[in-house]
Every structure is written in structure tokens, then in C-alpha cells.
């Protein structure tokens, strides 16, 4: 169910609220671009968490990025309320949570957003929104779900992701002294239950090296992540180049653009790679790809690119899943918490990844 509205006159100041993780912010860029296309003269600001702001670096659809801590104190909230209070004509709330809705209420007299279904808790939030859509968490890809907010006010949806960009477009071979043929391996997702095995990454890196493709490691500056990568690196080919903790998101997007291929788990960086049109091998376990699969480059259909199970090749994406009967369970690992193991990833056959590598290289020849 949903409720559409007509906004007249067109809004001059719009606030889009997208306070989620790194990959979620990137998946919201088609929505942001849809509003920019419809309201070219409007000021469009985006409210996000401080640690995800880099994903919108250089995005020309946005006039101002407003940041807030993920866990704000009273002073943080007072400062934010002063900044946004009734400064906007329209607030676009991309989540069903209490905090994003509260910010939307403070920011603008007209609000559109998502609401839980009637049989769920807090369904009454729809009465605080002038336009709303029930949030679908089971059957629709997140990009398509978010774009429903544009159609609520009769805006034509735009389906492509917009990665961060850098004004310095240096070829990676010159800036990072990389060989002509290399592949980006992003081996560490934020949550443990999304991790593939160390042995799987070791076999893949050795296989790439045999094919004369240099493995290049990417990762965040987080010390736990750097330690994890450093431990696996001990068993990787000597030719492996480690750039973990050294790149901004814009630099990483540029690096991926010139690579032969990218391999990564269910993480925001895999979504980033998908947006660059580089061939992407996405290693998925418990996560339902119907909702959270990497959005294929140039995919413009208003239906999810994926089914729950299978190993499809769609545009630049090669999705790899285990054959376990429970896939995808949509749980946080077998122990149901973020530091859990996931049997489906522990048993995922490395030969599937090697086959996808072969298919990519044959296509490029």
C-alpha cells in the first residue's frame, strides 16, 4: 500500500535522510539523482552518518552533505536540530526508524517516506507523513524500494548507481605503480558472518597469479581489518600488492575502474565496484540477493535482478552462492549474531569463483 501526493509549487529546498551503512548510502544515489533531475533548481541536501559521507564525495546532485554521529549525544542533536529546523520544503525519509522520521518532522512541513506494514509495529507512522509507501523487506531490491519515494510524487525514477568520484583522474598504473593487469580483492566485510574463508582467498589469489593477474588488496583503515588482511597476506603470492587502509573511496573507485575484475563479499565496497562497470564476482552467504545483491551496471528494469538462489551472470555481476539448503537464510550467521560464522560461506566451493574468473577473462579477450 502507498499514498501518493502532489507537491505544488515545486519544493525549493529538499532534505534527503539516508542514515544507514556505507553500501546503503550508495544504493540511495539513484533516488538522489531522480530528485535532482526533477528539481534542477532546488537545493538538495543529504543527511547521513559521518562515517558514510565519503560515499557521496564529489556527487554533483548534492548541494550540501549534513553529517551526524551514529550515536549522537544531546549536544549533537541540538546542533543538528538548529541546522535543519524548518529549513526545508520537503523531507524525504528513506527509513522506517524513529530517529530519521523525527529529523524529517523537524526539517520540513511536507514529508514522504516509508512506513511499516499495518500488521507490524509502529504502522501508525504513516499519519506523520504526507506521502508514504509500505517498506518491503522480502521481495524487492533496495534500489527499487527506495525509488518508490520518487514515484510517490510523480518523479521519473533513475536506476543507475553514482559512485564517489575524484577530480584527479590519474591512471592507477602511474599513481599506485600497478601492473597493467590486476584484480582487486576485498577480503574483509564489516561483519564476520559475511566472511568467506581465508583458504578460499588464498586459492583465488594463487589462481589469479598463475593467470598473470596481480592480486591487489583493498580495505579500510580500521585496525582490526588491517590485522585480518595482514594475516592472510602472509599466505598470498609475493607479487600481491596491499593497498588496504591507503585509499579514499573515490581513489578506490578509480582503482577498480581500471582493474580486470573485482572480487568481494556482501559489503558496501562490492556495491561500489558494481557501479564502476568493472566485472564483479560477489560472494554471498546468508544475505538475500533479491534485496541486497549488487546492482548491475546499466540495469534499468523495475524488478530485482536476482532470485533467492542461483549463480547468475547479469551485466557486470557474477553472483556466487553456496549450495546449502538454507541459503539465503537472511539471518546474521548460523549463531544469529554479527560475529557468527556462516556455514554456507565456510563450505562455498572455490571452483565457482575460479570459473567466474575464467568467464570474465574470456569475455575480455
Domains and CATH numbers, the chain: 2-151 (3.40.50.2000), 172-364 (3.40.50.2000)
Nearest to 274 by CA among 214, 314, 241, 322: 314
Q: Give the model's pLDDT for residue 185.
A: 98
Q: Distance between CA atoms of 137 and 142, rounded to whole angstroms?
A: 8
Confidence of residue 365 (pLDDT cuts 50, 70, 90): very low
Q: Give the model's pLDDT for residue 213.
A: 97
Phi, psi of 35, rounded to the nearest 5 degrees:
-70, -40
The mean predicted confidence, pLDDT, of the chain is 93
Q: Give the model's pLDDT for residue 1.
A: 86
Q: pLDDT at residue 166 above 70?
A: no
Q: Give the model's pLDDT for residue 150.
A: 96
169, with CB counted inside 10 A (0-12, 13-18, 19+), is exposed
2-3 and 280-284: which strand pairing?
A: unpaired
Q: pLDDT at residue 358 above 50?
A: yes
131-134 and 182-185: which strand pairing?
A: unpaired
Confidence of residue 64 (pLDDT cuts 50, 70, 90): very high
Q: HSE on the CB side for 357, CA within 13 Å? A: 26
Q: Distance between CA atoms of 282 and 256, rounded to whole angstroms?
A: 14
Q: Give the model's pLDDT for residue 169.
A: 55
Three-class SS state of 317: strand
Helix axes 223-233, 198-210, angle to 10 degrees: 60
Q: Is the peptide bond before 9 cis (omega within 30 degrees of 0)?
A: yes
Q: pLDDT at residue 23 above 60?
A: yes
245 vs 325 pLDDT, higher one: 245
119, with CB counted inside 10 A (0-12, 13-18, 19+), is exposed
Confidence of residue 325 (pLDDT cuts 50, 70, 90): confident
Residues 329-344 pLDDT 10s: 999 999 999 999 899 9
Q: pLDDT at residue 24 above 80?
A: yes
Q: Distance between CA atoms of 14 and 35, rounded to whole angstroms?
A: 9
Mean pLDDT of 142-170: 87
Mean pLDDT of 199-213: 97
Q: Is the peptide bond before 289 cis (omega within 30 degrees of 0)?
A: no
Mean pLDDT of 83-99: 96
Q: pLDDT at residue 19 above 60?
A: yes
Q: Give the model's pLDDT for residue 121.
A: 86
C-alpha distances (whole Å) from 35 to each of 91, 148, 155, 161 are 12, 12, 7, 14
Q: Cell numbers 599466505 label which residue?
A: 235
Confidence of residue 309 (pLDDT cuts 50, 70, 90): confident
Q: pLDDT at residue 272 above 60?
A: yes
Mean pLDDT of 58-83: 95
Q: Give the model's pLDDT for residue 321.
A: 95
Q: Distance between CA atoms of 84 and 125, rounded to whole angstroms?
A: 21
Please enumerate in sequence order all residues whose Cβ is within 8 A of that of 116, keeping only pairs 6 or more positions apart, or say none: 96, 122, 123, 125, 134, 135
Q: pLDDT at residue 326 above 60?
A: yes
By the 8 A CB rule, do 239 and 213 touch? no
138 vs 49 pLDDT, higher one: 49
| Residue 18 cell numbers, joined | 539516508
Phi, psi of 327, rounded to the nearest 5 degrees:
-80, 130
- Of all residues in the chain, the percent with pLDDT exceeding 90 is 84
Amino acid at each position: 500500500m502507498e499514498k501518493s501526493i502532489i507537491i505544488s509549487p515545486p519544493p525549493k529546498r529538499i532534505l534527503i535522510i539516508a542514515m544507514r551503512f556505507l553500501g546503503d548510502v550508495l544504493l540511495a544515489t539513484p533516488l538522489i539523482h531522480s530528485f535532482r533531475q526533477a528539481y534542477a533548481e532546488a537545493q538538495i541536501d543529504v543527511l547521513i552518518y559521518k562515517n558514510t559521507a565519503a560515499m557521496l564525495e564529489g556527487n554533483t546532485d548534492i548541494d550540501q552533505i549534513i553529517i551526524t554521529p551514529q550515536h549522537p549525544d544531546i549536544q549533537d542533536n541540538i546542533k543538528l536540530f538548529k541546522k535543519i529546523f524548518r529549513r526545508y520544503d520537503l523531507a524525504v525519509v528513506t527509513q522506517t526508524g524513529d530517529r530519521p522520521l523525527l529529523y524529517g518532522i523537524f526539517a520540513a512541513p511536507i514529508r514522504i517516506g516509508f512506513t511499516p506494514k499495518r500488521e507490524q509495529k509502529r504502522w501508525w507512522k504513516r499519519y506523520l507523513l504526507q506521502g508514504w509507501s509500505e517498506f518491503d523487506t522480502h521481495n524487492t531490491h533496495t534500489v527499487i524500494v527506495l525509488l518508490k519515494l520518487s514515484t510517490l510524487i510523480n518523479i521519473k525514477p533513475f536506476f543507475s548507481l553514482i559512485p564517489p568520484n575524484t577530480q584527479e583522474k590519474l591512471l592507477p598504473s602511474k599513481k599506485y605503480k600497478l601492473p597493467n593487469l590486476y584484480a582487486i580483492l576485498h577480503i574483509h566485510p564489516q561483519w564476520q558472518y559475511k566472511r568467506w574463508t581465508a583458504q578460499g582467498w588464498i586459492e583465488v589469489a594463487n589462481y589469479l597469479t598463475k593467470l598473470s593477474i596481480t592480486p591487489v588488496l583493498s580495505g579500510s583503515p580500521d585496525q582490526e581489518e588491517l590485522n585480518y588482511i595482514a594475516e592472510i597476506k602472509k599466505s598470498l603470492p609475493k607479487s600481491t600488492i596491499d593497498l588496504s587502509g591507503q585509499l579514499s573511496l573515490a581513489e578506490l573507485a578509480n582503482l577498480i575502474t581500471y582493474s580486470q575484475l573485482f572480487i568481494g563479499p556482501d559489503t558496501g565496497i562490492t556495491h561500489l565496484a558494481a557501479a564502476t562497470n568493472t566485472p564483479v564476482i560477489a560472494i554471498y552467504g546468508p544475505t538475500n540477493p533479491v534485496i541486497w545483491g549488487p546492482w548491475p551496471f546499466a540495469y534499468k528494469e523495475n524488478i530485482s535482478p536476482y532470485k533467492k538462489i542461483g549463480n547468475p551472470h547479469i551485466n557486470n555481476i557474477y553472483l556466487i552462492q553456496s549450495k546449502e539448503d538454507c541459503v539465503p537464510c537472511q539471518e546474521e550467521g548460523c549463531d544469529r549474531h554479527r560475529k557468527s560464522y556462516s556455514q554456507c560461506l565456510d563450505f562455498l566451493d572455490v571452483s565457482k569463483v575460479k570459473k567466474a574468473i575464467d568467464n570474465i577473462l574470456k569475455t575480455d579477450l
